[in-house]
């Protein structure tokens, strides 16, 4: 089965699907080893790891595609829902992005309705007029037919245009053939329910990391509300940042490592030194 076919089968199961947010080979490998069948290649996490900065549309299509290659190489069997952001341009750019992600082995791609280039401010998420967003989604769905990957339609218009417009855009995405739907920044559970209803039986995606001004129910509650997929963009990123800070603080204090550091043997095992030796043995010359 292809990655898109495997993801469709996963989403057909009754249970809620948790997709950890990943950004590189190490996070991909660890996620798969932890037993998760699928992950979300998060633009915000890629921005944090590559730029050391915020998620403000500074990451390029080339950088995201490179990240996709990295996570696929590290864990080939991990199903990847890849962040395609706004498609990196107009409808033709969207098609190029979708085709590239499909060729790289993504199981699904996210396309949203934010305006690009972004205004020079960290506040707000201005979005395209509804019919322009429709054309980008139509282009994405058409391009996805080549590889079969699923298309997730995301609307960011809730904070600026209101819930009625956001629900209308989800309904529009369904009309255009989107496979998964994503209302960003629902204010409360009632809005979550409205988004699920607008998805008309297709899987709905939700961000469950705390901290932002949006409804963040528990995984169990999200499932009760009808959501199908949940991701947690800060669940690994925040502890990683904390761990790096702890390690640096330990070095500054004259110590060799932080108290939270794992044992050297465990680190080597996690990174696969033994696997490398086993794989290299058939090609090693005697002596």
Domain ranges of the chain: 3-240
In contact, 4 and 148? CB cutoff 8 Å: yes
Report the distance separating Cα 153 and Cα 172, nearest Å.
9
Report the distance separating Cα 214 and Cα 256, nearest Å.
41
Q: pLDDT tens per residue, the chain (287 residues)? A: 999 999 999 999 999 999 999 999 999 999 999 999 999 999 999 999 999 999 999 999 999 999 999 999 999 999 999 999 999 999 999 999 999 999 999 999 999 999 988 887 777 789 999 999 999 999 999 999 999 999 999 999 999 999 999 999 999 999 999 999 999 999 999 999 999 999 999 999 999 998 888 889 999 999 999 999 999 999 999 999 999 999 999 999 999 999 999 999 999 999 999 999 999 999 999 97
Q: Which of 31, 42, 10 is nearest to 78 (CA)?
A: 31
Domain covering 3-240: architecture: Alpha-Beta Barrel (3.20)
| pTM (predicted TM-score) | 0.96
Per-residue CA distances from 115 to 46, 90, 100, 190, 262 (Å):
20, 10, 21, 27, 43
* Digit-coded pLDDT (tens) for 168-206: 999 999 999 999 999 999 999 999 999 999 999 999 999
Report the distance separating Cα 275 and Cα 210, nearest Å.
37
């Amino acid at each position: 089965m292809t990655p898109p076919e495997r993801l469709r089968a996963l989403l057909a199961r009754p249970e809620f699907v948790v997709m950890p947010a990943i950004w590189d080979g190490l996070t991909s490998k660890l996620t798969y080893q932890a037993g998760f069948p699928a992950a979300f290649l998060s633009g915000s996490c890629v921005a944090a790891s590559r730029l050391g900065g915020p998620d403000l549309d500074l990451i390029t299509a080339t950088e995201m595609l490179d990240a996709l290659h990295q996570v696929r190489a590290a864990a080939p069997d991990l199903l990847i829902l890849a962040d395609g952001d706004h498609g990196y341009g107009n409808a033709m750019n969207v098609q190029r992005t979708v085709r590239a992600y499909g060729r790289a082995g993504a199981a699904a791609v996210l396309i949203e309705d934010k305006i690009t280039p972004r205004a020079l401010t960290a506040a707000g998420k201005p979005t395209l007029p509804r019919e322009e967003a429709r054309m980008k989604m139509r282009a994405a769905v058409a391009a996805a037919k080549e590889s079969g990957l699923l298309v997730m339609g995301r609307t960011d218009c809730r904070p600026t245009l209101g819930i009625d417009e956001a629900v209308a855009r989800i309904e529009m995405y369904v009309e255009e053939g989107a496979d998964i739907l994503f209302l960003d920044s629902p204010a409360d559970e009632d809005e979550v329910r409205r988004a699920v209803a607008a998805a008309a039986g297709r899987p709905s995606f939700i961000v469950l990391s705390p901290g932002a001004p949006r409804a963040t129910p528990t995984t169990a509650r999200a499932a009760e509300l009808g959501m199908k997929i949940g991701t947690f963009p800060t669940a690994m990123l925040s502890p990683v940042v904390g761990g790096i800070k702890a390690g640096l603080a330990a070095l500054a204090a004259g110590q060799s490592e932080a108290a939270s550091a794992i044992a050297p043997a465990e680190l080597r095992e996690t990174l696969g030194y033994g696997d490398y030796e086993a794989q290299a043995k058939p090609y090693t010359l005697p002596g």
